[in-house]
Structure 1
């Protein structure tokens, strides 16, 4: 499936970026885990776990430099890559892979070499990785789904979430169309925010605004969240961690903890677990970190 993307050297770059898949295992604390800075210093982990998804490496909208800043500031014992890390849909149409995207891959692989346990749960945009279940790539484990046990004993089901999206599963053509329209919105957004930056105004997301204003989109998001919470309850879990819809959220749904770690295209957010098991959504852009402003390609 990778053969249609790009020349051999580029395909190898993607292979080096991919981790292995193993289905539904308990992921418990790793020993001797730590992540150091790029200069070789080894620092004790500040966080027990970090969950990130929807990076969309291979697209102009990916905020790779911001993600690098986040990863350097948040070393952890285990790092979950909760799907759509590499955007295979976009790479099929056009190859786009700047150095900053390669830097993200290298940062993740470096963390794995230094003792951080890295678990990759593929999503719909990097579904090609589901062919590599049970393999390891540079110390990264690829798993179909995972069960994470927090420091305070809660069991969280970790899944990208696309398998509970009816459009992706039963109307793939519509999902591709929606993806193209989303990319168009992001291009318009980059122009708009370049103008806003010149005026000293903060970053503003056009697509997030549309999602929150369009009634059908709000209804879809609610159904998606409830479906995942229902499935987590059926599996006997205390909660679920997912991505897919690019909407960071942490809330209780009928006694089940629903956590969405957001994305690294617009919200620039992640879910983190502290040493005592406390969960928190970190909004990196809100902490004053720079957001990349590119001209539309």
Structure 2
């Protein structure tokens, strides 16, 4: 009898047609596959699916506030289209601010008529370096010195989305609009962050070149505004503010290497393999 009950519990998931969705972070994307994630990364992770062709790379304007129609509305439209193609059990892989846009949808089912179906179809969210608690860099860009504001502009951090990611602003959203943080209702689906803890940019260290050495150098500079435990853009406590962490980079990466904010969307230090194996386990 016990075996029969377990089989019945697992049957709906086993019968579902799983799909994998990659959701980018801050920025207006028209070709996120090549410009944000890289084909190497996406092609590696999607091999964890029974049918690797069942995947979607989202392209939206995440320079907007998370609830904006160009952000959450665009994401809802693309996810709905993907579900309507027969993908009725979704694993969402988000990066950075993409986790906030997804949390908006999961936390506000009555905001948009498309949200309930998306919530019902979403099996799990794997949130790579999510900015759940905001970042002091956003505060520096909008409220800091001329140098800090200029630095933010050079790095492309001047937008409504970055304004939204100021620490006090995200605290307000977390307390009033979003689920998954301490003292708030839990999210309707599992939300598991992967936390980046440091930036390596030593010129003699080959690991510093994964994903592009220039990005490591820039993130090493911006890390000066953050706690010691950070990925160069987000502090660890922000990344772990919502949901239940899956792991901190050095606990599972090859050679216990840290993942900078840029490297956490690249095939660096077996991150893609970890994600691919996770997809297989979930299905």
Same fold (TM over 0.5): no
Q: Give the number of the structure whose residues are more often helix, by fraction.
A: 2
TM-score relative to the length of structure 2: 0.38
Tell me: higher relative CO, structure 1 or 2? Use CA pairs within 8 A at least 6 residues apart: 1
Q: Give the number of the structure whose residues are more often strand, by fraction.
A: 1
